[in-house]
Chains A and B, each alone.
Chain A
């Protein structure tokens, strides 16, 4: 199975900050990388698909980059509603695997 490792596991930032979350795959997954966020008690929502494509309806302050094994989710101008847990997911090969999550707290 492809292992997905996210960092950091948690972070705290202020409204208006720029934050970056990284995800590393244990093997080359080309651009088959998705980012989701999940709020407590809710289902995940896709933010970025295919490493860098913004899902329809997602604010443009979210962006993704990377290919191969190293990927980044960037949130510019952090908003209070961005408080959530963020997960990366590889969809290159079954079983599709997720990172362990990054819990983002807004100060």
Chain B
């Protein structure tokens, strides 16, 4: 079964850090671009970051640039999001998602169940 499972969410202090993980099973992440998307409960979806299949290229939303770092370990079939200098505005459910980038078209065809990050003192 194709599956993504996030972990690492929880409560963090303002200014603190968290590292999210996204473990893939049933497929090899080295064949896919991978993304992080976040959603404040009850609100809309916001794209956060993307990493190329071989890890050679990354991109970030302006709101997290310089604070968050996306990375991948293809050998462990796992995607990561290192989140530093957290603020209350980073509070959200974080999803990882797979992007087949088929013929130049991107879509998110497999999502994890999400992990909740709460930033509060």
Contact = CB atoms under 8 A, between A and B. Distances in A.
| A complexed with B | yes
B111 A98 contact: no
A60 interface: no
Contact of B107 (A34, A94, A95): A34
Using C-beta atoms within 8 Å of the partner chain, give the interface range for chain B. Answer: 20 to 34
Contacts, number: 59
Interface in A44-97: 44-46, 49-50, 55, 87, 89, 91, 94-97
Given A96-B35, A98-B47, A100-B44, 18 more contacts: A31-B105, A34-B108, A36-B108, A43-B112, A44-B111, A49-B109, A50-B105, A89-B45, A91-B105, A91-B106, A94-B59, A95-B62, A96-B106, A98-B44, A98-B45, A98-B46, A99-B44, A101-B44
Interface residues of A, number: 24
A68 to B, nearest CB: 15
A43 B111 contact: yes
Interface in B49-103: 50, 59, 61-62, 95, 102
A44 B102 CA distance: 19
Contacts of A38: 45
A94 B109 CA distance: 18
A41 B109 CA distance: 18
Nearest to B4: A43
9 contacts: A34-B107, A44-B95, A49-B102, A49-B105, A55-B107, A87-B44, A96-B47, A96-B50, A99-B44
A94 B95 CA distance: 18
Pick from B45, B107, B109 the residue with the most CB of A within 10 Å. B107
B44 A94 contact: no
Contacts of B109: 46, 49, 55
A99 B45 CA distance: 8
Interface string A16-53: 00000000000000011010101000111110011000
